[in-house]
Amino acid sequence: MSFGPLIDELVDAFRVLPGVGQKTAQRMALTILEQQRAGGVRLSKALAKSIDGVGRCESCNNLSETSCCAICANPAREQGTLCVVESPSDVLAIEQTHQYKGRYFVLNGSLSPIDGRGPNEVGIPELIHRINVNQINELIMATNPTVEGEATAYYIAELLAESTVLVTRLAHGIPLGGELGFVDGGTLSHAFTGRKPLQDD
């Protein structure tokens, strides 16, 4: 059943969002038209403003309303430490821990030749340029623990094998509060590989 081309177009527009299928998109569209018209107008205005006003930081490639994002503009951040992530949402996740005090570089995803994402597409040349220009001492690879994320981390590490930059990888292992019986084999494998002494000297 179709309510008409305008509603069909609205439903299709909602389907661009990750995890939103046909049924969810229909529910969103009908809710706005039936109950939340004022909210729909606000949403459309906010989207238009964000699309026009939000770009990429010239230094780290994170989403930013200015040419230099707040993190890169903060002189208190550690200059010599750079954390490499796959998306702006990863920056938010790390910042919420309040543990990391360095800077970031946001790739455009991970390497995936089958999807046409090579080094140039994900921004690796720009990353290497920033490392060379900013005298980075440690590069923290915080790409996702997927096949593509691991391949991206190792590819970048190989490019820097002859440099003085220390390349580290975020530890992957058993989540705090987790039970071994419910942990998948890949996570357990990472946990064993990354094990460390219980008491450091």
Per-residue model confidence as pLDDT tens digits over 115-166: 999 999 999 999 999 999 988 999 999 999 888 999 999 999 999 999 999 9
- Say yes or no: 24 and 120 in one domain: no
Cα separation, 34 vs 86, whole angstroms: 38
Query: Considering the domain boundaries, does residue 89 fall inside one?
Result: yes
Is residue 14 in some structural domain? yes
Q: The pTM is what?
A: 0.83
Alpha carbons within 13 A on the beta-carbon side of 70: 4
Residues near 12 by Cβ (< 8 Å), separated by ≥ 6?
25
3-class SS of residue 195: coil
Residue 183, Cβ density class (10 Å: 0-12 exposed, 13-18 middle, ≥19 buried): middle
Span 19-78, pLDDT tens digits? 999 999 999 999 999 999 999 999 999 999 999 999 999 999 999 999 999 999 999 999
- pLDDT score of 199: 59
Say yes or no: 44 and 73 in one domain. no
Q: If you average pLDDT over residues 102-113, what whole number do you get?
A: 94
Give the total number of structural domains in the chain: 2
Residue 165 is given by DSSP the state: P
If asked whether residues 62 and 130 sit together in one domain, one would say yes
Look at strands 63-64 and 55-56 and give their pairing. Answer: antiparallel
Distance of CA 36 to the CA centre of its chain: 31
